[in-house]
C-alpha cells in the first residue's frame, strides 16, 4: 500500500540531507473559464459529435515537447469545430497531457451547449470555436487575476515591473531556443526580494502579432494589479504572470558526486497569499544510501502526482478575479464524452501517429476506387474517418525514390507549422511495413489540375488567380520569416499547391524542405532534389540554395498562373524558348499583356496583370542578390503606389538544362497530396 502524504513527507525529512530542489506536480489547477452564449448547439447534434472528436484529438496530441496543437473536425459550417490547446512552456509532456485531458472533460460540463469556449488552468489553456481561430490574434475575452497582498514600495515596484515585463515580452517574441514563444525572467527588486515573471504566446502567431498581444496586455497591469505582490492577465492569444516567489520550473542541475560539507539551507516557508497551487519544496541530501533516497522519494512523488483533488474552487481565498470585456458564465449540466472510446489518435514523442487499423477502415484497405493518384512518394488515397472527416493518405511505395529520411523530414517539419496557406498534417502511421502521411483532404486537388487544363481553367478567373498568388506568397513568407523555424521548401510548384473547397491555396509536400537556424541564409548540398523548371540556376548548377531559391520558384509559378502554361514543356512550343525568356521578351517590348491566358480576357484587370508579370520577372532574375525577399513580394502585390525596380534578364540556362536532362516526360498524375520529383544533377 502506498504511504500517505504526511508519512511520506516525514520519512523524507528524517534523512536531514540538503541537495537539490524538487517540485512536486499535483493535479491540474483550474483558473477560469468563459462560455460565449452568442452561438449554441443542440444535444446530439453534429456539432456536439464533432466537438467530442476534437477534444479527444487534442488530448491525444498533448504528448510532446511542443505544448501546442490545433486541429479541426467537420467539413462545413455550421458543424465544423476549430480547437487548440497551449501548455505552459516549462512543463513536461506528461503534465501537459494531464492538463489537456482534464480541460477536455471539464469544458464539456462547464459549457454544455456553447459553440465558443475557453478554459484556463495553471498548466494549460484549451479553446474551441465554430470560427477559424488559427494564426489569428485575439485580444478578447480577457481575464485578470491578482495576488491580494500588497507590495512594499508600490510606486517603485510598479516601475520596476513595467520595465521587466517589456524585456520579458521581447524575449518571448524572439524565442529562438524552443520556438514556443515562451520566456521566464528572474529579476532582483531589492537585495532580498526577487521578482519572477512569465510570458507566452500561442506559437502559431507571427512574431509581430505576439508582440502586439503582449504589449497590449502589459499596460493593463495598473488597472488590475497595481502595487500587488502578484498578478496575471489571460488572453486567448497570449498571457503573462508575475509573482514575488518562484512559480515556474527551473532546470535542475545534476548533483556533483562529491558530498557537500555545507549543504545549502532549505528555503524559508513563504507567507505568500498566492493564486493557484504552490508546489512544496523538499530538501534532500546525500549522506544516506542513494538507492534508498531515490526509491522513497520516487514513491512519494508518484503518489502525490497521481492524487486528484476532490474539488476545485472557482476563486482561491487569497485571489481576486477581474473580467475584462467578459461575457458568459458557468454552466454545470452533465455531459459524457464517450464518442471516441477506443478510437483515439495516438502520438509518439516525435511523430503524431494514427493507428493503421483506422487508416485501413478509412480507405477500405486502400481500395482502387479510393485512389486519387500517384506521385514520386507513392500512391495517394482518399479516406473517411469514423467521424466523417475526409482525409488524404500518402502511402510510401516500395519503389519510391524517397525514403524514411524524407518521410520523417516532412512529418517533423509540417507538424510544427501552422498557417492558413499550408496544408494541415493530421498524422502519420509507422506500423508494420507501412509509411503513411495523413493530410486534410483537398476536394479541389491541386492548382495544376485547373491551371493547365483548358476546360477547367475557366474556373480560375483573374480575381481567383490573384487571390491564389497572394495566398502562396503569404505561405512562403511564413516559412521564411514568420514561423518558429526558417524553412526553405525547395520544391514549390503548381502540383504542390493544393486548393480547398473555397479554392484557397495551401502549400504542401515538405519532404525536400530544409531548416535554417539562427542567422543562416544559405547552404550547399551535393544532392540536388526538386523539379526542373522551378529550380533556381544556382541550385541546379551548384547545389547552393537559400530563401532566394524559393523566390525563384515562386516567380516561375506566378508566370505560370498568369499564362496558364507550364514552364516545363514550353520549350517544345512554337516559340522555341522557355516561359521565362518568352515573358521577358514580351515585357521588355511593352507587350506583356500578350503573356496572359486567353481565358482571362473577360475578367482581368490589365494593370494588375502587368504588375504581377513585373514581380514574377524580378523573382526569376539570375543573380539571387537581385531577387526580392518574400516580404518585399507580399508588399509589392498589395501596394498600388509602390514603384517597382527594373528586372534584369532571367536565367536562360535553366531551360536548356531541363531540355538536355529530361530523359522521360514528367509524371503529372492527379492526386490530392502531390509528388516530389527527385533529381540528381552534376554541376557543370
Which residues belong to the active site? 491
Whole-angstrom distance, CA of residue 87 vs CA of residue 100: 8
Beta bridge partners of 439: 392, 425
Q: How many degrees, rounded to 5, is the angle at CA 631 between CA 628 and CA 633?
A: 55
Q: How many degrees, rounded to 5, is the angle at CA 25 between CA 310 and CA 145?
A: 75
Nearest one of 191, 2, 30, 216 to 120, comparing CA atoms:
30
Q: For 21, phi and psi rounded to 5 degrees?
A: -90, 135
The three-class DSSP label of residue 374 is strand
Identify the burial level of 347 via C-beta atoms within 10 angstroms of its C-beta, where 0-12 means exposed, 13-18 middle and 19 or more buried.
buried
Identify the burial level of 14 via C-beta atoms within 10 angstroms of its C-beta, where 0-12 means exposed, 13-18 middle and 19 or more buried.
exposed
Query: Buried b vs exposed e over 148-170: b needs ≥16 C-beta within 10 Å?
Result: beebeeeeebbebbeebbeebbe
Nearest one of 550, 557, 522 to 536, comparing CA atoms:
550
Sign of CA dihedral 94, 97, 103, 104: negative
A 10 A CB-CB count for 196 gives 18
Evaluate whether 157 touches 225 at the Cβ level (below 8 Å). Answer: no
Identify the burial level of 298 via C-beta atoms within 10 angstroms of its C-beta, where 0-12 means exposed, 13-18 middle and 19 or more buried.
exposed
Whole-angstrom distance, CA of residue 280 vs CA of residue 8: 13
Q: Which residues are CB-contacts of 588 (< 8 A; sequence separation ≥ 6)?
A: none
* Residue found under cell 525563384: 552
Strands 21-23, 30-40: pairing is unpaired
**Alpha helices for 218-307 (secondary structure H):** 221-225, 290-306
Strands 486-488, 436-440: pairing is unpaired
DSSP string, 515-548: EE-TT--EEE-SS--S-TTTS-HHHHHH-EEEHH
Compute the CA torsion angle 337, 338, 341, 347 (nearest 10 deg): -10
Whole-angstrom distance, CA of residue 594 vs CA of residue 489: 31
* Residue found under cell 522551378: 534
DSSP string, 491-508: ---GGGEEE-TT--EEE-
How long is the chain?
684
Amino acid at each position: 500500500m502506498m504511504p500517505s502524504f504526511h508519512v511520506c513527507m516525514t520519512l523524507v525529512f528524517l534523512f536531514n540531507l540538503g541537495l537539490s530542489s524538487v517540485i512536486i506536480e499535483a493535479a491540474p489547477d483550474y483558473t477560469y473559464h468563459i462560455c460565449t452564449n452568442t452561438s449554441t448547439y443542440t444535444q446530439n447534434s453534429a456539432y456536439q459529435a464533432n466537438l467530442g472528436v476534437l477534444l479527444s484529438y487534442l488530448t491525444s496530441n498533448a504528448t510532446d515537447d511542443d505544448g501546442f496543437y490545433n486541429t479541426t473536425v467537420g467539413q462545413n459550417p455550421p458543424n465544423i469545430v476549430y480547437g487548440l490547446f497551449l501548455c505552459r512552456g516549462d512543463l513536461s509532456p506528461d503534465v501537459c497531457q494531464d492538463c489537456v485531458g482534464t480541460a477536455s472533460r471539464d469544458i464539456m460540463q462547464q459549457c454544455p451547449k456553447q459553440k465558443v469556449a475557453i478554459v484556463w488552468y495553471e498548466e494549460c489553456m484549451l479553446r474551441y470555436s465554430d470560427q477559424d481561430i488559427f494564426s489569428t490574434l485575439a485580444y478578447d475575452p480577457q481575464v485578470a487575476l491578482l495576488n491580494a497582498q500588497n507590495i512594499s514600495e508600490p510606486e517603485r515596484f510598479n516601475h520596476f515591473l513595467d520595465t521587466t515585463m517589456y524585456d520579458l515580452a521581447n524575449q518571448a517574441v524572439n524565442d529562438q531556443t524552443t520556438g514556443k514563444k515562451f520566456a521566464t525572467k528572474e529579476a532582483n527588486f531589492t537585495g532580498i526580494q526577487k521578482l519572477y515573471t512569465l510570458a507566452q504566446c500561442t506559437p502559431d502567431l507571427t512574431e509581430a502579432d505576439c508582440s502586439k498581444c503582449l504589449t497590449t496586455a502589459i499596460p493593463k497591469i495598473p488597472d488590475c494589479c497595481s502595487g500587488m505582490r502578484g498578478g496575471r492577465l489571460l488572453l486567448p492569444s497570449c498571457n503573462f504572470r508575475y509573482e514575488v516567489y518562484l512559480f515556474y520550473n527551473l532546470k535542475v542541475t545534476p548533483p556533483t558526486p562529491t558530498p557537500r560539507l555545507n549543504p545549502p539551507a532549505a528555503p524559508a516557508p513563504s507567507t505568500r497569499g498566492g493564486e493557484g497551487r504552490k508546489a512544496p519544496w523538499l530538501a534532500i541530501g546525500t549522506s544516506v544510501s542513494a538507492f534508498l533516497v531515490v526509491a522513497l522519494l520516487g514513491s512519494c512523488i508518484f503518489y502525490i502526482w497521481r492524487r486528484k483533488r476532490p474539488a476545485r474552487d472557482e476563486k482561491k481565498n487569497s485571489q481576486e478575479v477581474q473580467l475584462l470585456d467578459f461575457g458568459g458564465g458557468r454552466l454545470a449540466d452533465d455531459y459524457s464524452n464517450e464518442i471516441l472510446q477506443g478510437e483515439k489518435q495516438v502520438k509518439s514523442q516525435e511523430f503524431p501517429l494514427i493507428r493503421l487499423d483506422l487508416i485501413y477502415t478509412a480507405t477500405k484497405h486502400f481500395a482502387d476506387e479510393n485512389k486519387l493518384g500517384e506521385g514520386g512518394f507513392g500512391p495517394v488515397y482518399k479516406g473517411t474517418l469514423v467521424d466523417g472527416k475526409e482525409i488524404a493518405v500518402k502511402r510510401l511505395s516500395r519503389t519510391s525514390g524517397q525514403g524514411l529520411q524524407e518521410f520523417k523530414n516532412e512529418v517533423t517539419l509540417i507538424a510544427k507549422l501552422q498557417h492558413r496557406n499550408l496544408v494541415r498534417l493530421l498524422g502519420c502511421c509507422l506500423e508494420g511495413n507501412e509509411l503513411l502521411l495523413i493530410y486534410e483532404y483537398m476536394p479541389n486537388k491541386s492548382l495544376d489540375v485547373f491551371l493547365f487544363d483548358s476546360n477547367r481553367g475557366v474556373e480560375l478567373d483573374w480575381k481567383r488567380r490573384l487571390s491564389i498568388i497572394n495566398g502562396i506568397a503569404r505561405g512562403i513568407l511564413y516559412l521564411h520569416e514568420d514561423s518558429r523555424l526558417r524553412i526553405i521548401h525547395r520544391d514549390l510548384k503548381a502540383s504542390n499547391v493544393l486548393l480547398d473547397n473555397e479554392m484557397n491555396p495551401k502549400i504542401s509536400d515538405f519532404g525536400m524542405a530544409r531548416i535554417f537556424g539562427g542567422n543562416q541564409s544559405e547552404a550547399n548540398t551535393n544532392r540536388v532534389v526538386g523539379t526542373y523548371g522551378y529550380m533556381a540556376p544556382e541550385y541546379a548548377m551548384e547545389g547552393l540554395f537559400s530563401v532566394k531559391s524559393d523566390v525563384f520558384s515562386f516567380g516561375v509559378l506566378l508566370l505560370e498562373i498568369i499564362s496558364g502554361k507550364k514552364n516545363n514543356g514550353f520549350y517544345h512550343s512554337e516559340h522555341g524558348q522557355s516561359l521565362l525568356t518568352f515573358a521577358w521578351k514580351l515585357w521588355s517590348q511593352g507587350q506583356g499583356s500578350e503573356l496572359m491566358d486567353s481565358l482571362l480576357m473577360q475578367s482581368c484587370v490589365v494593370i494588375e496583370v502587368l504588375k504581377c508579370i513585373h514581380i514574377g520577372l524580378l523573382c526569376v532574375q539570375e543573380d539571387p542578390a537581385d531577387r526580392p525577399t518574400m516580404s518585399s513580394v507580399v508588399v509589392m502585390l498589395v501596394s498600388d503606389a509602390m514603384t517597382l525596380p527594373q528586372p534584369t534578364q532571367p536565367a536562360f540556362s535553366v531551360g536548356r538544362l531541363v531540355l538536355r536532362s529530361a530523359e522521360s516526360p514528367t509524371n503529372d498524375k492527379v492526386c490530392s497530396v502531390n509528388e516530389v520529383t527527385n533529381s540528381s544533377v552534376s554541376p557543370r
